Chain A
Amino acid sequence: MSQDNFLDMCPTYKSGMDGSHIRAKVIGVGGAGIYLIDGLRFDNFDAVDNLALDVDLRTLSDSLASNKVSFGRRHTRGMGTGGEFALARRAIEEEKDLLRKQLDGVDLVFLLAGLGGGTGGGVAPVVARIARESGSLVFAFTPMPFSWEKSRHAQAEECLKDLRKHANAVVPLPNDSLLQMGGDDATALECFAEASRNVSRGISAICKLVFQKGMIDVDFAHLNRAFNHRAGRTLFGYGSGRGQDALREALRSLMLCPMLHLPDVSKAADTLVIFINGGPGMGMSALQTISEEIRKEFKAGEHVVFGAHIDENLGDQVEITVLGVTDLGPISSSVDVAPSSGGDILNATSPTKSSHPSRLVAGPAKKPKAEKVSAPQKKQALGVSQNTFDFMEDGNQRGIFDNLPDRNLYDGEDLDVPAYLRRGVKISV
């Protein structure tokens, strides 16, 4: 069965689903964001625009992005913000109309911004907010400064918290983990390049899902509904395999992906996007088995968006990309991002929507999370309106220290984050 030709097996292949009316935009903000945008490799995505946004004219002029916008010249005279994110925020708030124009009619925004920098940290939350207000689905990929960059690190955490209020999913990319990305003797540059490739893979996986016809397809409305609630922690990973058992090999490599093994990464996902891209040899039943295993590995909730594409160029190779979020409940009604087009999955915004199964034990699904107060979780649950820590309430899903409300700070470093990550010791597994 698994050796059958996919074309015969695939009911949706010619179903005419087409993302041509969907518009996507990749927005790079600040130095790190623009570095990432320049590293993106897109082929055949006419509907994906890009936009580089910075106060620093030099960064902009060096960028390969086709669409560049500078702002805040009045404040910085075309130079950087010097790490002051309040300054960048003030500057971008003055340019809201310009942003709105850029975001008009855009359905899907990929926001790339280093949160340790002044521009990235200050501007990204504003861009996310305005994008959401104008109806876009917003995925953010945000490089986080090294632990040893103490003050920048604290600032980045603040910005991350802020950004999470607005974006549909925020994937933090801690620089601490860079070293774990490359091979054993990778140089710093190679590690950065690998991180940038990972972002590229994530974006292109989602774009392929939405824009290209494949073996198992998902339309944009489906994706939009799946992510249409307040997102907490995210997980994001990539694995590849080749040869006879390529799918299984890819799953194994996915489970070892360093990006899935970081302190703030969720171990479970209420909403999970699985995208499998493979050569023509990929069989349907094997695909089903693997997708089932992936769901299980990430304790996926009811919102699973599964897509699989065949790429002749991949030969016997298979790539798996996953992006998942924990769910903090319905988004506030003031922000309405639900599209009017069809989609047949459960209504994600309904208050009866159940969350991750392990949370259901505590009470009926209808009960809003804020009211679910048990002794050890009281502190977190009460914090719902104050901060974003409510997504940490389900302690056993995650690492040993994840259910603690406060960071274990010593001298500006979080001691609960593994020492090898903070000290840059490469671990080969």
Chain B
Amino acid sequence: MSKIIGAVEIGTSQAKVLIGEVSESQTLSIVGMSSRANEGMRKGEILDFRSVASCVHSAIEAAEKMSGTTIDSIYLAQTGTHLQGMVLRGSANVSSSDGRVTLADLQRAADEARRRQPADGRSYVHHVRMPILLDGRPVEDPVGLIGQKVELIYWSIDGENAAIQKNLDVASSYSLDIDDLILSSVASSTIVAGQDVRRAGALVIDMGAGVTDIALYRHGNLAYTGVISVGGDHVTGDLSMGLRVHEPYAEELKLEYGKALPDEADSGEEVWIIGNQTIGDRKVTRKAITDIIHVRIVELFEIISKEIGELLDPKEMGGGVILTGGASKLPGIEVVASKVLGVPVRKGNFPVGISPEIAKPENASVLGLLHYALEDHGLPGETKKETSFLGKIGGLLGM
């Protein structure tokens, strides 16, 4: 029996929906996909609920139509600067008489870790489990091993209820259940940074239109996540102001001539602002365009560097820095990032087997959602939740 899963990302510039079909042999194929321009959001937060809801609903409808199926529950990506991550720890003494760790011990440790409640008006969005420590040593699966104390560590993300609720309402107003809320940066990471890369240590930077999501992995585990309230829209806004043009033209100039790294030739090159021989059109130097973009991008990576702080250790970053998201398409951005961060930076690749129409940086999050749904995130040995029966195998997605 195959199962249909849905992934929804309500992004600042576009709402995206993917529908995947997981066969009995645990291979996943994408059977439906659509995206719709989203007008009601700024910087990852919903301003105009009705406009966002109708945009998401129309995207879901289109994806359902394409797939010939319907979905009744979804994985929903979460972003926004209201989200905050922190480390939660819980431990338990091994209770069995033979000194072997049981699932019950793990459960007790997990309960203790999650006992800490977020501040008033906030709720947990996502708990990401980090390594399990048995008497201080990291182990994959301690159940059955001999020891005295198990310790569980979670990277837990909480967010403002009001903001989360708006996202949930968008789904529930289309009568959809939520399988899980997943942090956008974590979703993107699962697709552009394979497990080997995460194990070597990597920083994934998903540069969206509204916000930039970051996730840092050490030894295969999540060590930090963050959301920076700067995205591709800021580049457009800066261009609009700096070149004194309306935003739609600024956006076109960005896509056509934008690059992150200025070079000598830019001063000599002039481009038309509107470009269709409109009266009142004028020329600007390409240098003006690249200068405006360059300072913005440099600043963004400086902020990222400041946010991550000491965790940004080149020795622990064997997997490097991986850029994805729509705004990462800016030519030269990896060079600027590398200069600022002081570690090698590359643009993210997608696993083979995903059709080129889908395998684009702006789809990293929504693709990652499906990918994430296939991975097992429970406790080892735990009876898997309904959604986890999918197991760890994803043929088409190249897991």
Q: Tell me whether B292 and A418 are in contact (CB under 8 A).
A: yes
In the complex, whether B9 has a CB less than 8 A from a CB of chain A is no
Task: Say whether A403 contacts B229, CB under 8 Å.
Answer: no
Does the CB pair A429–B295 fall under 8 Å?
no
Residue B161 interfacial (CB < 8 Å): no
Chain A neighbourhood of B306, CB < 8 A: 411
Does B66 touch A at the CB level, under 8 Å? no
A75 at the interface (CB under 8 A from B): no
Are B292 and A420 in touch, CB under 8 angstroms?
yes
Interface string of B211-248 (1 = CB under 8 A from A): 00000000000000000111001101110111110010
**A283 close to chain B: CB less than 8 A:** no
Is A376 interfacial (CB-CB < 8 Å)?
yes
> B residues within 8 A CB of A314?
none
Q: Is the interface of B mostly helix, strand, loop or mixed?
A: helix
Q: Could you tell me the distance between the alpha carbons of A401 and B232 in the complex, rounded to whole angstroms? A: 12
Does the CB pair B244–A418 fall under 8 Å? no
**Apart from A419-B292, A427-B288: 7 A-B pairs, beta carbons within 8 A:** A262-B241, A375-B48, A418-B242, A420-B238, A420-B291, A427-B242, A428-B288
Distance of B247 from chain A, by nearest CB (Å): 6
| CB within 8 Å for A376 and B43 given contacts A419-B238, A419-B299, A429-B244 | no
* Known contacts A376-B47, A399-B240: A410-B303 contact under CB 8 Å: yes
Q: Which B residue's beta carbon lies closest to that of A376? A: B48
| A416 / chain B contacts, CB cutoff of 8 Å | 234, 237
Asked whether A154 is an interface residue with its Cβ less than 8 Å from the other chain, the reply is no
- Cβ of B43 and Cβ of A404 under 8 Å apart? yes
On chain A, the residues within 8 Å of B282 by CB distance are 252
- A400–B42 touching, CB < 8 Å: yes
> Known: A401-B237, A427-B292, A428-B285. Contact between A375 and B243, CB under 8 A?
no
On whether A429 and B284 interact (CB within 8 A), knowing A400-B247, A408-B229, the answer reads: yes
B residues 53-112 in Cβ contact with A at 8 Å: none
The yes or no answer to B377 lying at the interface (CB within 8 A) is: no
User: Which residues in A have their C-beta under 8 angstroms from that of B48?
Assistant: 375-376
- A415 close to chain B: CB less than 8 A: yes
Q: How far is the CA of A405 from the CA of B243 in the complex (A)?
A: 25
B51, B285, B292 — most chain A CB neighbours (10 Å): B292
Contact of B208 with A by CB under 8 A:
no
- Asked if A367 is at the interface of the complex by the 8 Å CB criterion, the answer is no
CA distance in complex: A216, B216 (Å) = 66
* B303-A425 in contact (CB<8A): no
User: Which of A260, A418, A425 has the most CB atoms of chain B within a 10 A radius of its CB?
Assistant: A418
Residue B50 interfacial (CB < 8 Å):
yes
Q: Distance in Å from the Cβ of A207 to the closest Cβ of chain B?
A: 28
B83: min CB distance to chain A, Å: 15
Structural contact, A255 and B244, CB atoms closer than 8 A: yes
- The residue on A at minimum CB distance from B292 is A420
Closest to A413 in B: B299
Q: Which residue of A lies closest to B230 (CB)?
A: A415
Interface residues of A in 370-422 (CB under 8 A from B): 375-376, 399-401, 403-404, 408, 410-411, 415-416, 418-421
Cβ of A263 within 8 Å of any chain B Cβ, yes or no, is yes
Contact A403 B238 (CB under 8 A): no
Q: Does B249 contact A (CB under 8 A)?
A: no
Q: Which of chain B's residues have a CB closer than 8 A to the CB of A429?
A: 242-244, 284, 288
User: Is A362's CB within 8 Å of the partner chain B?
Assistant: no
Whether the Cβ atoms of B295 and A399 lie closer than 8 Å is no
Q: Does A423 contact B (CB under 8 A)?
A: yes
Q: Which of B229, B241, B299 is in CB contact (< 8 Å) with A423? A: B299
Question: Which interface residue of A375, A403, A419, A420 has the most chain B CB atoms within 10 A?
Answer: A419
Please indicate which of the listed interface residues B241, B242, B288 has the most CB atoms of chain A within 10 Å of its own CB.
Answer: B241
B299 with A401: CB separation less than 8 A: no
Closest 5 CB pairs of A and B: A376-B48, A418-B238, A419-B296, A419-B295, A400-B237
- Whether the Cβ atoms of B240 and A400 lie closer than 8 Å is yes
Task: Give the one of A416, A427, A428 with max B CB within 10 A.
Answer: A427
Contact present for B291 and A400 (CB under 8 Å): no
Q: Is the CB of A427 within 8 A of B291?
A: yes
Option from B42, B51, B243, B280 in Cβ contact (under 8 Å) with A401? B42
Smallest CB–CB gap between A9 and chain B, Å? Answer: 27
Whether A256 sits at the interface, judged by CB under 8 Å, is yes
Task: Give the residue name and chain of the A residue nearest to B237 (CB).
Answer: A400
The answer to whether residues A375 and B43 also contact, given A400-B237, A427-B291, A429-B244 and a CB cut-off of 8 A, is no
Expressed in whole angstroms, the Cα–Cα distance for A364 and B214 within the complex equals 46
Of the A-B pairs whose beta carbons lie under 8 Å apart in the complex, a sample of 9, sorted by A's number, is: A376-B40, A400-B247, A401-B237, A404-B47, A408-B43, A420-B242, A420-B291, A427-B242, A428-B288
A401 CB contacts on chain B under 8 angstroms: 42-43, 233, 237
> Does B49 touch A at the CB level, under 8 Å?
yes
Query: Which among A375, A404, A428 is the interface contact of B42 at CB below 8 angstroms?
Result: A404
Given the known interface contacts A400-B240, A419-B295, A420-B295, the answer about A410 and B229 at a Cβ–Cβ threshold of 8 Å is yes
